[in-house]
Each structure stands twice: as C-alpha cells, then as structure tokens.
C-alpha cells in the first residue's frame, strides 16, 4: 500500500455480491432448494459463501462437486443449473440486503459528483431485479453484469469499459470489492482498489490481497478519496 491518501479519482466502481449486498442467504437457499429437488443433501451457508464470486455457473459446479475448480458431469450440471436458476430467480432478493454503510456511502459519492458504477459477475437477469428490489439501482450510471461483455472479472475488460464510458484514465477509477477477482481485475487494468473485509473472498482474509486499502464500509471508503478536477 504505497499510495498517498486521499486518492484523487473521478469514478468509483463497486462490486455487488459481498460488497454492496449480502446476497449469500438467497444464493444458499437456492442451492439448498436445488439440491433438495435433486435428492441431494444441503450445503451450509458458510460453505456457500466460499463458493461465491465467479458467477452462478461456477457456484452451481462448486455446490455439486464440493470443489472450487472441478467440473461435474455435463448432463448433471445442465440439469442442476436450470433448477438453480429457477429457484434463485424466484427469490433473488428475499433475504438480500445492503451491508451497513452502503446507502450512506452511495449518497456521499453521488453528492460529491463522482461517476458511480456497479460491476458484477452475476448475470443481468439476476443483477437488475436485485438492485431494483433493494433500492440501489438508480445510484449507478453504469451497471455491467457478468454477461454484458465478452470477458468478466478478473479480466480487466469491464473496468476498462467503464473508463471508456466515463472518459477517464484507469488511474482515475477506484474499484471497491471484496475478493481476489476484484484485486486482479484492478491491477490488470491499472486502477486503484479497496476491499471490504466482510465479503466473500473464498473464506480468506482480504488482507492477503494486493490492494491499496482495506475499508470497513463503503462510507468509510469515501474518506480516503477526493474528487479529481
């Protein structure tokens, strides 16, 4: 962490799952509903939290295999994926809520005149209803879901797309996330990156990651930046 604070930036991009919203309860419920329908035993919430971050497809594969990188039988996965989407789509925001400091932080960012975007690996079919149901949708000038572009985090493409959209340089865009995906994407794009400690970093501490600051909330993150001219 060699940068001096406050950082001078023009845009703030924020991750969704584990950063803006505590979505794990709904993701876990959908996993358990899927497993029950398939005659399989449930998976604990704390385990599902470690599976979050690479999109629903990889989440389902991890639930089926109990492994972070393994691929289940293709036919089994196809069946499970359709069942999961049905259950999650029906209850995408039943328990999901903003983390403490999120709404206050977004209000602060908008009032200060920053460009604000949400970039997530979650598919748009879930992202948009979730943001609308939780009252966060209208804070964002740009919402990039995992299926919006040819590549997603940890690839830098979504962040570079946001820079182009806002007409800024990568060093003028701050990413706030909760996981390795976010820090890798930011470093590859040349953007500064903060992480919150309460999210879903595969069950590991964000203090191990290559980042510029660990911030307890989105609101606290606003105290480490200033609006670039």
Contacts of 106 (CB under 8 A, 6+ apart): 116, 136, 139, 218
CA-wise closest residue to 120 among 145, 139, 97, 98: 145
DSSP string of 159-220? HHHHHHHHT--GGGEEEEESSHHHHHHHHHHT--EEE-TTS-STTS-GGGS--SEE-SSHHH
| Count helices and strands in the chain by DSSP H and E runs | 9, 10
| Annotation marks residue 15 as catalytic | yes
CA 57/CA 65 separation, integer angstroms: 13
Inter-axis angle of helices 157-166 and 180-189, to 10 degrees?
Answer: 60
Catalytically annotated residue among 15, 178, 182, 212: 15
Q: Which residue has the tokens 């997530």?
A: 120
The residues with which 180 forms a beta bridge, in sequence order, are none
List, by residue number, the catalytic residues.
15
């Amino acid at each position: 962490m060699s940068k001096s604070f406050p950082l001078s930036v023009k845009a703030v991009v924020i991750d969704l799952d584990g950063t803006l919203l505590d979505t794990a309860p709904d993701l876990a419920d959908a996993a358990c509903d899927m497993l029950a329908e398939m005659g399989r035993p449930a998976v604990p919430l704390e385990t599902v939290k470690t599976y979050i971050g690479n999109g629903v497809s990889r989440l389902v594969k991890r639930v089926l295999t109990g492994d972070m990188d393994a691929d289940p039988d293709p036919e089994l996965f196809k069946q499970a994926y359709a069942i999961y989407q049905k259950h999650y789509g029906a209850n995408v925001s039943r328990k999901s809520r903003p983390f403490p400091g999120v709404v206050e932080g977004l209000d602060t960012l908008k009032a200060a005149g920053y460009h604000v975007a949400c970039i997530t690996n979650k598919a748009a079919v879930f992202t948009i209803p979730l943001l609308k149901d939780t009252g966060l949708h209208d804070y964002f000038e740009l919402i990039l879901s995992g299926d919006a572009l040819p590549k997603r985090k940890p690839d830098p493409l979504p962040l570079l797309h946001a820079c182009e959209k806002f007409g800024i340089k990568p060093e003028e865009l701050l990413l706030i996330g909760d996981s390795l995906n976010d820090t890798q994407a930011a470093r590859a794009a040349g953007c500064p990156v903060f992480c919150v400690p309460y999210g879903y970093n595969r069950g590991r501490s964000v203090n191990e990651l290559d980042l510029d600051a660990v911030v307890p909330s989105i609101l606290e993150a606003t105290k480490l930046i200033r609006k670039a001219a």
